[in-house]
Amino acid sequence: MKVTINDVAKLSGVSIKTVSRVTNNEVSVRQATRDKVMAAIQELNYQPNLAARSLAGTKSYTIAYIYDNPNAYYIIDMQNGILSECRKQSFELLIHPCNSKSADIIEEIVSMIKQSRIAGVVLTPPFSEMPSVAERLTEIGVKFVRILSGRNVPDTDSPCIMVNDFDAAFEISQHLIDLGHTDIGFISGGKEHKSTLERIEGYKAALTKNSIDCREDLIIDGEYSFESGVKGAEQLLAKPNRPTAIFSCNDEIAAGALFASRLQNITIPEQLSIVGFENSPFSRQTWPKITTADQPNQTIAKHATALLINDIREQKPDEICEQITPSLLVRDSSGAVTN
């Protein structure tokens, strides 16, 4: 027989309404009562019927993750992080891939929200960087959390997670400089992404701090893809005064740069150091493994989801924005300059 909310109420000696308040994490329940109900839930292995719970009342217990990102590893990490927090907080997750460049993208998002009775939305780039999306969600009264690249909170209109790409890029660049590199190439991701601009600025700031001239000819425009890493490395390695190190804007680009270098029989890191960013599986599946910035995407997603659900429940913390800085992870693809 399937365990019901009635069984939990009977075992814990409280009303069905009290059990519902506990499963909804409402703050009006005394801790002793909450502990008693949670013990009954655990003993009976009770699983709340979230769909029925939403239909029975006016509240929705579903949040949505909308995305448009070519990096499958990033998407999977985000989904896993969001789903983990949803399960912890007894919420459902709807995953909605879409085209951010579509002319009617705003109305597509609104239609999805209304049809699926969405309580809140997790926004990652590029949607988190589109003011029109935030404005429309505010208009229809739907809560949202943004995951953004940057050092400064843009506003306090909604909860957000700020990823400090600038400081992380500075640290990676400083690592290469400490190894003796002064001619450091840079292969960027798409310039429409704020993360790209922050990483370029961090790279340039490290050069400036160490009194190293920034060679603009060593900065190659690219996209967040393996192919872009291949093409970018080919351009850099064709220069008469080629770099001794390459900073790739993410690990997929770095893997492409590594591939292009190996085709030219360039040994890594003896003849060329290559670093990436994000600590995706690309950085661990190559040989040698790639030095990178460890960006904890699952943790970022979990924290963002917790902020969103708190906002939905109107349980706002003292700070509605958090900052996370990826940390340097040194592996075998970076080494000292050899004469």
pLDDT, residue 1, reads 62
Residue-wise pLDDT tens digits, 137-146: 888 888 999 9
Q: Shortest CA distance to 125 belongs to which of 308, 310, 317, 304?
A: 304
Span 334-338, mean pLDDT? 92
What predicted TM-score, i.e. pTM, was given to this entire model?
A: 0.80
| Whole-number Å distance between alpha carbons of 304 and 161 | 6
Q: Strands across the sheet with 273-275, in order?
A: 219-220, 184-187, 245-248, 273-275
Task: Give the residues across from 160 on adjacent strands.
Answer: 146, 321
Architecture of domain 5-48: Orthogonal Bundle (1.10)
22-45 residues labelled b (16+ CB within 10 A) or e (exposed): bbbbeeebeeebbebbeebbeeee
Please give the helix or strand (H or E) that residue 16 lies within, else none.
Answer: helix 16-23
**How many residues does this entry show for the chain?**
339
Q: What is the pLDDT of residue 24?
A: 67
Position 178, amino acid: D
53-79 average pLDDT score: 78
Q: How confident is the model at residue 43 (pLDDT cuts 50, 70, 90)?
A: confident
Look at the block and give the residue holding tokens 């109107």. 314
Q: What is the CATH number of domain 62-163+297-325?
A: 3.40.50.2300
3-class secondary-structure state, position 36: helix
Mean model confidence pLDDT for the chain: 89
Residue 243 phi/psi, 5-degree rounding, is -70, 160
CB–CB of 250/276 below 8 Å?
A: yes
Give me the architecture of the 165-294 domain, per CATH. Answer: 3-Layer(aba) Sandwich (3.40)
Q: Which part of the chain is CATH 3.40.50.2300?
A: 62-163+297-325, 165-294
Tens of pLDDT, residue by residue over 13-27, are 988 778 877 876 666
Place of tokens 């891939």: 97
**Helix, strand or coil for residue 194?**
helix
Q: Are 162 and 321 in contact (CB under 8 A)?
A: yes
Interval 24-32 mean pLDDT: 74
Please tell me the predicted confidence (pLDDT) of residue 51: 47
Task: Return all residues near 118 (Cβ < 8 A) that are at least 6 apart.
Answer: 60, 62, 63, 64, 94, 112, 142
> Over the range 181-216, which residues count as b (16 or more CB within 10 Å of their CB) and which as e?
bbbbbbbbbbeebbbbbbbbebbbbbbeeeebeebe
Give me the numbers of helices (H) and strands (E) for the chain, helices first please: 13, 12
CA distances from residue 170 to 160, 176, 256, 285, 291 in whole angstroms, order as listed: 23, 10, 22, 25, 14
Of 7-11, 230-234, 293-297, 301-305, the one with minimum mean pLDDT is: 7-11
pLDDT band at 59; cut points 50, 70, 90: low
Distance CA(53)–CA(62), nearest Å, equals: 11
